[in-house]
Structures are given as structure tokens and as C-alpha cells.
Amino acid sequence: MTSSKTHKPSPGKPRSRRSCRIARLWALSRELGIDSDALHVIVEMTTGLDSIRACSLDQVNQAITVLEYQKKTRPKTHRPSAGNVTLLPTYDQRKLARQIMADIARSGDIKNPDCYLDGVCRKRVGKPFHRLTAIELRDVIEALKQIRSRFQS
């Protein structure tokens, strides 16, 4: 008798790449000690969607990148916690930073706004844009607002 918890794909039906990546997302959350609710919060903050099922392959990969970064940077001596979900920037924070950057690019002579945004982040907090915590991103947003006001004056 096999346990109902072990899932074996049927021999004639291969799993899609997306379903394999979703399985990886759940495996990483278990390794980090993140429960289902916290994982859904991470996915919502990363992608803006509240359902893992609604995510595309790219969005699932974004969430996996966040969890892999947490796994890589977590302290080795402590037990896994809830994954520091509160430290992740929200989807709205990222969107606001990109909107302000778009305003700066329109009013200034900036050819590649993404590189400029990444440069501001590295100068301000020493990390690229996609690795910022919520507090660091708040600091970068304030810096971008100051830059935007200088360009508009």
C-alpha cells in the first residue's frame, strides 16, 4: 500500500515545466519553514497575484528566486522561521519605484531607465533593485522622488 501523501505522476503523462517549478516553489517553502499562508503572501508581494495557480511560469520563477535568495542569506545557526515575509517589498512599492523612474526618464535624458534605477539602488543601499527589502526600497523611493523634483524644476 502506498501512502496518500506520496504523489507519483502517471507513467504516460509527463509533467509540465510550470508544474515542476510550482513543486520546486513548495519544496523551497518547506525547506525554509514557510507555511502555506506565508508562501501565498510572498507570491502576492512578488507577482501581484494572490494565487499560485494563476501565476505564469515567469512569475513562479520570480517567487522561486526570492525564496532561493532567502535560503542563501539566512543564518545557518538558526532554525528556519517564517521566511521574513515582512521584509519583502510589496508589489505596489516596486510599481511606484518604476513609475517614478519612468517620470524621471521622460523628463531627463535617460536612455535605459532600468539600468539607472539599478544604479540608484546600488549607490543608495549597495544592492540591485530586485534584491531590496521593503525598508531599503522605501529609502530608494524617497531618493527617486528627490531626483524627480530636481529634473522637473
71-120 pLDDT, tens digit each: 888 765 444 455 556 678 888 899 999 999 999 888 887 888 888 999 99
Contact 132, 121 (CB under 8 A): yes
Delimit the domains of the chain by residue range.
17-74, 91-152
29 vs 48: CA distance, rounded Å: 18
pLDDT at position 143: 92
22 vs 96: CA distance, rounded Å: 28
Report the Cα–Cα distance between both ends of the chain, in Å, rounded: 74
Using the predicted structure, report yes or no on whether residue 140 has a pLDDT greater than 90.
Answer: yes
Q: Which amino acid is at 135?
A: I
Kindly report, residue by residue over 24-50, the tens digit of the pLDDT: 999 999 888 888 888 888 888 888 888
